[in-house]
Structure 1
């Protein structure tokens, strides 16, 4: 797209639409976050949802490459469904509003995952600079789309942990509506746990019994990490299982392409794990993981709903992901925003994350807090405490 000068500490940025154009130093800057490195970004480029376009932002100080960032444009009018689980009048009204007043959305960050994955720098920057820079990137992309006769309705900056959001609010984000949706469920693994036996021993009796009960229900199901060739072999079934879960979520802004998981495996190799669950040699579920330094990132999954209910498949997936994290000595497992209560029952805890959002229609934006409160699905849940005190 070209170079853009940003008048603050001699900062400039270039926005790219292709991975091939990125500077060679990109992965050095993004070293600590696999979700900003080119193998993952290539997954987005090759298999992004049909309603999504990605932009890759290189940030410079005095022409020295110091930062990277990601932006995504989503067209909701191309989406088959916003989520079919909750069929009610409020949901119908929500969908009408989204299609007519929020069909063109610009994200600074990654709308597909949970976590602070919008940007990375190789040196400390003042939050006054970061907040101004992120807003300038958004303004530049708004102008880019305007030239294509596309009107961006909503701009969202996503996701920030509490310490970061507090700093951003002191500067350019102070007049932008801050929203908090469901928390990110994060499991801080005890360094004393070396295997699953240590993990199970830490449970109170109630949750140790839950573990045993779920494993009895799991009897007969075989788990296997799939190679690229096996993922390709089962690609249609994998997509069907994923699509069932995604479509029955309370809210969606995208659906993955059919070849997304095979592309992920091809680009990221051993850093990406897809584990299949087989019953009578038929694939009935799968979960995916991304190895991100000392973080284990859970990604999308899918299952046969009948098997899930009869065999407690989802709970067993959570245990299996946790046991993988323990056995390979990860510090944390990032479980994301869904199924909060069951994730807390295996040891994950809620961590508040914030985003910032504004509507470019000034009248609508005056009421963005009230509108957002009505559109965001509410989830009532009870946090569980599974370990002995």
Structure 2
């Protein structure tokens, strides 16, 4: 008997099948616990749905979809004030403002879906495509026409699974790489890491640590995160609005919801000067990986104290101490992450515009509108 494939779309984590987490074991970012965070504290311009993919009655795939409405943003980012940015903003507002994504726009990496290895992956992907069409209808009925459908982030070898007719009209593209830091087996302490650096980068480490003299770093509890919510948001927003391009801004309660939901799997580190919070960073434990999340800082103190660089060193020290295999440093600040030892992993996405004319020229539009990032890879280790 030929297996019957179907999908189910859920709008709440409480609706998910009991055995959902059996498939989510590969990544915390598709777990019920994490999806509940998105449900409670996603950016205001983002709507999330969760997709169950079934072979007969058996759950064989899980996926996350995010609908992003760029019309709700006052700004896409304030750093690049130029004609090209202005044109890009107009184009996005009018022709690309409604984006339906299979994947997670707040993270870097393949957090789009998990498919059981025992299933027919091609048939499950075909079913996922049907779910995307159903989601388009859901939003159309709400008066929101989807302009672009996309999937993100995949490494090169994962793209081959999409070589089926259902995904032929999708443009394959690559943007900034995911910066991955690999923790070496022989490193047992932060000092072992420092010893592996060449003299130039050991000097950089020493200089940064000396600059941070007087700062106090400590992990914040849920109550402390709630008490400092206004300051935390100001520090986050200062960094976020300075990015070259944004598709969302987090709500103020985001970090508190994260801590309440994930507890010890979510780490919030505050940096204090004279008992005043002047910066923070966040980490998520994801199996053997340590994922960096959002951060914030006072820019004047950041430069004076080399705060961002010190945060990177602190993350590395924690990962070594707790024996994680790698740190997912994600995108942005590529060169400074490279200077501490992170390596770029090229990531690919896929997208299709609903307008056939625009879709046929999507490659041109994308190359023109995508902010270009020029950077030099560093090689900080002695070997």
TM bucket (normalised to shorter chain) is over 0.9
Q: Are 2:53 and 2:127, in contact at CA under 8 Å, matched by a contact in 1?
A: no
- Map 1:82-161 onto structure 2 (within 5 A): 82-161=76-155
**2:4 & 2:161 partners in 1: Cα distance?**
22
1:180 aligns with 2:192: no
User: Retained in 1: the 8 A contact 2:34–2:262?
Assistant: yes
Match of 2:67 in 1: 73
Quote the Cα distance in structure 2 between the aligned partners of 1:17 and 1:50: 15
| Paired position in structure 2 for 1:357 | 351
**Unpaired segments ≥5 residues, structure 1:** 1-7
Cα pair 1:108 1:156 within 8 Å, conserved: yes
Mapped partners of 1:167, 1:381: distance in 2: 31
Question: How far off its partner does 1:291 sit?
Answer: 0.2
Q: Is the 8 A contact 1:236 1:258 kept in 2?
A: yes
Deviation beyond 2 Å, 4+ runs, structure 1: 121-131, 169-175
For 1:32-43, list aligned pairs within 5 A.
Answer: 32-43=26-37
What TM-score, normalized to structure 2? 0.97
> Is contact 1:108-1:134 (8 Å) kept?
no
1:198 maps to 2:196:
no
The equivalent of 2:9 in structure 1 is 15
Distance 1:164 1:147, change over 3 A: same
Give the Cα–Cα distance (whole angstroms) in 1 for the partners of residues 212 and 53 of structure 2: 49
Hey, what does 1:273 align to over in structure 2? 267
Deviation at 1:126, TM superposition (A): 4.5
TM norm structure 1: 0.96
What runs of 5+ residues in structure 2 fail to find an aligned partner?
none
Match of residue 293 from structure 2: 299
| 1:4 aligned partner | none
Preserved CA contact (<8 Å) 2:171 2:350? yes
CA distance, structure 2, for counterparts of residue 184 and residue 48 of structure 1: 22
Given that residues 69 and 109 in structure 1 are in contact (C-alpha distance below 8 angstroms), is that contact kept between their aligned partners in structure 2? Answer: yes
1:326 is aligned to 2:320 = yes
**Which among 253, 258, 265 is matched to residue 252 of structure 2?**
258
Q: Distance in 2 between matches of 1:368 and 1:293?
A: 37
The structural deviation recorded for 1:222 is 0.5
Give CA-to-partner distance per residue, 1:84-136, whole Å, 9 cap, x none: 11011110111111111111110011111000001113334445334423322
TM-superposed CA distance for 1:175, in Å, is: 3.1
Q: Distance in 2 between the 1:125 and 1:249 partners?
A: 41
1:290 alignment counterpart: 284
Q: Secondary structure at the match of 2:166?
A: coil
* Contact preservation (8 Å) 2:283, 2:290: yes
Quick one: distance in 2 between partners of 1:95 and 1:125? Answer: 42
1:153-188 CA-to-partner distances (Å, cap 9, x unmatched) read: 111111111110133235533331011000000011
